[in-house]
Structure 1
């Protein structure tokens, strides 16, 4: 076999690592930071029309003020279900009804809750790091197979270094995202 037969798909590895980073950003968006954000309601599902439905598919989510989220529910029969879903979501928000509009005042976070949220953010980041390392391991395993099939030592080293550099860059992105999120959470 010639060296051209050993082609590691770095783009695929990068795409998979970027997927872990995108997942992390989604998880970070759902963390409540004391500032109102429509994305904080993304994980909340409403039991509507016989199935679990995201809130943004049963009403319009707005952020009229820095500490207020409003949901204008389109179907009056779902207002109670949306309110119940928010109460049971664990966000620690107490919905207030005003006709078909549900208002969610976002309370100020206390110091203890901020510290808890930074720990949760760190856990999310660690999960992303593990996912990235798993992708790295897949790439390295592929390289081991190539080496067993006759890849030269030099090529193996070059490819290994590229996979490691890609991994390091992606983990740095995770660390940067974590640092930004933690500073956002601790900001009073």
Structure 2
């Protein structure tokens, strides 16, 4: 019973951590990487489709992403989807390839992005703590129903706290790595 609660809590905390890391990948640094465009959706014959399912996304150089649509008719729609995304990018079509240059980040923009990243980290910490609260409530319910002893409840809560500390530390580590990436010129 206790192991099931711990296992469930660990899986939920892991999902919160993965969601946070996925959100971090969306925040762009000065360098180009293809993951920046992952959440851009293109209108593909009336259906919103991820860009990587209608085009080939590659790196041309350290500061430029190349996007090559698989169908010539989709070139304008892909370019429009990138321009309309919340990434602040300005794509330029050159023949059958769309070049997406990564603009230099200003100091002010870097600081704004760090604030965004810190807010995401706090949301991830809150999610992990909510999982801890739910697990502790399950332990209290099990104790109340006399399915576990008070010692088992205390041990279970201690284990959940250790899990919480571990995942919060991983969130903090990912945050510091992203902050150093953002501040690197």
User: For residue 154 of structure 1, what is the aligned residue in structure 2?
Assistant: 151
Q: SS at the partner of 1:60? A: strand
User: For residue 108 of structure 1, what is the aligned residue in structure 2?
Assistant: 104
Structure 2: gaps spanning 5 or more residues: none
Q: Is the 8 A contact 2:132 2:161 kept in 1?
A: yes
Write out aligned runs for 1:55-94 (5 A): 55-94=51-90
The RMSD of aligned alpha carbons is 1.2
Q: SS at the partner of 1:34? A: coil
Counterpart CA distance in 1 for 2:5 and 2:58 is: 42
Structure 1: gaps spanning 5 or more residues: none
Q: Is the 8 A contact 1:74 1:100 kept in 2?
A: no
| Aligned with 1:178 (options 158, 175, 179) | 175
TM-score scaled by length of structure 2: 0.96
Counterpart CA distance in 1 for 2:7 and 2:181 is: 32
Map Cα deviations across residues 140-171 of structure 1 (whole Å, 9 max, x no partner).
11001011122322111111100010011001
Map Cα deviations across residues 43-101 of structure 1 (whole Å, 9 max, x no partner).
11111121111111111100121100000111111111111111111211110101221
Matched, 1:168 2:165: yes
Tell me how many residue pairs correspond in the alignment: 184
TM-score scaled by length of structure 1: 0.94
Q: Is the 8 A contact 1:8 1:142 kept in 2?
A: no
Counterpart CA distance in 2 for 1:167 and 1:98 is: 50
* Cα distance, 1:186 vs structure 2: 0.8
